[in-house]
Each structure stands twice: as structure tokens, then as C-alpha cells.
Structure 1
Amino acid sequence: MKSRWKLIYAAIATTLLLTACGTSPETENDSTNGSANEVETTDKGTVTENEGTETEVADESTSPDSQVDILKDAQLKESDEQNYTISVLPDYTLTSEEPGKDSLMVTGDEAVFMRIETVKKEDGTYDYLTDNMIAVLEASSDGGTPTEVTNAEAIPAAEGIENAKVLSVKAETASITGIIFERDEMIVRLTIYDSPKEEHFERFLHMGETIVSK
């Protein structure tokens, strides 16, 4: 009888041992594989996200410049009365007022124009023309006090231009700007009579920057 119970106990123990050995490794492998797969998926997700971010930044940094050359449609014109050439945009007309003075007018609106004066550079001429420019601005604005413009974008800066100075004054129906600069052996003085909102100033400025001796 005792031998029989020993056999039964041995069979039960063996069964329990085999069951434990059979299931534990599978459970452990499943757990390990699950963790590995989770880490791999997370890594790929991060790489994909990073790659997407890098691509977006690269696209931003290499985006083309959207600025358009304001003078791309301009044509070279010669003054009839003075010794210079200038690039003139469509819808603007260059005419001679009198010896030593030209007008670059907006076609169809003669109240908006830029007077152009050029003289040979000599000692004292620059200072004289600057003082005279201030007087012209004051008279054109019924005694308004001109202020010096310091915004770099409103000051002529093309190659060869030196000693550029810009003064501006507001009148009741116009904005008036005086510009003077030296280029080579010539002094250029521009007087811009623009609308109060200065709708043409930028184009006048860039056309004025192209003035050179013939």
C-alpha cells in the first residue's frame, strides 16, 4: 500500500514539474519578445518623426527668395539737357524742364514727379546745393521744417554713390523729399513730390540710383 502511494506522489510531482518547465520559458520568451518589439517600434517612430522635422527645416532654409527686382522692366534713357543717363520704369516719363533741370513724371499724374539736377563736382558745390535743398523743402511745405531721413532703405546706396543725404517734409497734399549724393565727378540732387502716402517713393529712389554720367 505504501509503495502504491509513493508511486502516485511521484507521478503527481513529475506532472507538476513538467508543467512548470513547459510553460515558464514560453511565457518568458513572449514577454521578452513583446518588449523588444515595443522598443523597436518606438525607435522607428522617433526616427521617422526626426526625419520629418529635419526635412521640414531644410525646406524652409532653402526656400527661394521671393523679392522681385523693382527695375526689371526699366529702360535706359538719356537726358536731353544734362549729361546723364537713367533707367526709367514704364508709366514714368522723363522730360526736360529747363537747362540743368529734368522731371521724371508719373504718366497721367503730373503732380507726382521727381526733379533731377546734376552738376559737376567742385569745392563747396555739395554744401551749397544741400543748403539750397533745405530752403526748397521749406518753401514747398509753407515753412515746414525738413527732417533728416535715417532709414537705410530710403537712402541711395548703389555702387559708386557717396555722401548721400535725404531730407523730408510733409505738406498738406504731398510728401516732399530731397536727396543729394555724389557719384564720380558729378553731384546729383533729386526732389521728389509724392502723394501723402508716398506711393511712388521707392520706385523714384531706385530709378535715381541708376543716374550716371553719359
Structure 2
Amino acid sequence: MKKSIYQVGAVVILSAFLAACNTDTDEPTTSNAANEEPAETEEVQNEEQPETTETNETDESDDASSDQQEEATETSSEETKAEQEDKADNTTLTYISNGQPFEEKVVTSTSDEMNYTIQHFENYTLTSEEPGVDSLLNNADEATSMQIEVVQKEDVTFDQLKESAKETISAIAPDSTKDLDLASTLEERKEISNIVGYEALLEDEKVVKVVIERENLFVTLTIYDNVQADLTDAFLQMGLTIQ
């Protein structure tokens, strides 16, 4: 009987001991799991933050590069515009008068009646004389001027204008007319397809007819000049700029 009590007591003590051991083993496991999860979360967050910073730096770099490109484009456009204006302000034409070369600045004028522009010397004036005919006047010498007629290619042919110019000159001075040698003009000005010229001389007065063919139009020039002024080439050089 006494032995049975000891056995029962031993069983109770052993059971209590095992229960205590199981309790001590479970608590640290639960505690470690709870502590490890936040650590992993913090590591993930730390890894993501540099990517955000790098993205922001890239965006800022792209914006700065875009701004620099825009500024460079604006500067380039301003320089190009300034160069064009400077070039327009300094355009000149060279002509021969009385055996001497002259170079003068020109300005651009637009016909009031016909669809063309012309570059002419500053002391000359473009006016509308009558329908289909303009005049370029020398402000310093009223005796010298040039009539301008511009027609579209569908309205007439080059040969028709050529024959009309030749007939007009022949009627003015049948015994003192000549053809002008304008071959060098075709060589120097590729935009001119054809050109012919005729001159009539009446004592000291000269009348010159020139027909010019460009890509889209015909131009007929009638130049009134005199031996003393000798501005035929000056008027011709201005007339060649008509377009």
C-alpha cells in the first residue's frame, strides 16, 4: 500500500515536470516569431527606398536636360533670326556704269498691282503706272527709269514676248539697234531659264528691252537710259531679282 502511494506520487511529480518543460519550450518560439516578422518588413522597406530616390533623381535629370534643350533651341532660333535680319540689311548689288564697278545696298519692294517682289537700290522707287505695268524710278535722275511687266507662263510664251520686244526696238530706231550679249547672265544666275535683250540708240538716249524667263513667270523690262548716266546695267541687275 505504501509502495502504491509512492508510485502515484512519482507519476504526479513526473507529469507536473513534463508540463512545466512543455510550457518553457513553447513561449520562446512564439516570442521569436513575433520579433522576426517586423525585422523582415523593415529590410524590405529599406530596399525599396533607394529605388524611389533613384527614380526621383532620374526625373529631375530628365527635366533639367529638357530645359537645357529648349533653351538651346530658343537661342539657336534667335541667332538664326538675327543672322537673317542682318543679311537682309546688308544685301547689295553690283553693276557697271561708264566702265566702273559700283556696289550699293538694296531694299525689297512688293508690287501693288502684280504678284512679285524686287530688290532695288535705296534711292529708287517702285510705283504702279497702269494696269499690268509698274515703273522703277531713279529719284536722283527722272530721265532714267524702267518699266516692268510680269505675266504668268500660262498666259503667253517666251518666243511671243521675244518677238514683241524685238519689233518694239526696231520701230524706235530701225537703223541703230543691236542685240545684247547676256550669255554671262545665264551662267551666273541658274534661276534664269532664258534671257534676251535689244537696244535702240537715239543720239544720246537709249531704250533697252529685256525679256526674262523664270520658273513660274516671264518678265519684260523696258529701260530708259542715256549715255551720260549709263545705268542700263544697274536697272538690269535690279530687274533680275524680280520673282
TM-score greater than 0.5 by the shorter chain: yes
User: Using the alignment, how far apart are the partners of 1:175 and 1:86 within structure 2?
Assistant: 23
User: Using the alignment, how far apart are the partners of 2:187 and 2:197 within structure 1?
Assistant: 9
User: Using the alignment, how far apart are the partners of 1:182 and 1:148 within structure 2?
Assistant: 17
User: Using the alignment, how far apart are the partners of 1:156 and 1:167 within structure 2?
Assistant: 19
Counterpart of 2:234, as a letter, is R
What is the correspondence of 1:1-214 to structure 2 with a 5 Å cutoff?
Answer: 69-70=93-94, 72-122=104-154, 125-141=157-173, 143-150=174-181, 152=183, 157-197=188-228, 199-212=230-243
After TM superposition, give the deviation of residue 95 of structure 1 in Å.
0.9
User: Using the alignment, how far apart are the partners of 1:95 and 1:167 within structure 2?
Assistant: 24
User: Using the alignment, how far apart are the partners of 2:156 and 2:121 within structure 1?
Assistant: 33
Equivalenced residues, count: 144
| 1:86-145 C-alpha deviation (Å, 9 max, x unpaired) | 00102211111111111111114222111111101137522221111122223333x345
Structure 2 gap segments, 5+ residues each: 1-91, 95-102
Q: Rg bigger for which structure?
A: 2
After TM superposition, give the deviation of residue 77 of structure 1 in Å.
0.2
Question: Normalization by structure 1: what TM-score?
Answer: 0.60
Judge conservation of contact 2:149–2:221 (CA < 8 Å) in 1. Answer: yes
Structure 1 gap segments, 5+ residues each: 1-67
Across the aligned residues of Structure 1 and Structure 2, the Cα RMSD in angstroms comes to 2.4
After TM superposition, give the deviation of residue 180 of structure 1 in Å.
0.6
| 1:174-194 C-alpha deviation (Å, 9 max, x unpaired) | 112111111111001111111
| 1:137-160 C-alpha deviation (Å, 9 max, x unpaired) | 23333x345321125457794231
Judge conservation of contact 2:182–2:197 (CA < 8 Å) in 1. Answer: no
User: Using the alignment, how far apart are the partners of 1:180 and 1:69 within structure 2?
Assistant: 20
Counterpart of 2:196, as a letter, is K
Judge conservation of contact 1:114–1:193 (CA < 8 Å) in 2. Answer: yes
Identify the structure with the greater helix proportion.
2
Judge conservation of contact 1:154–1:205 (CA < 8 Å) in 2. Answer: no
| 1:57-101 C-alpha deviation (Å, 9 max, x unpaired) | xxxxxxxxxxx8536510000011111000010221111111111
**Partner residue of 2:51?**
none
Question: Normalization by structure 2: what TM-score?
Answer: 0.53
Q: 1:159 to 1:100 in 2, by over 3 A?
A: same
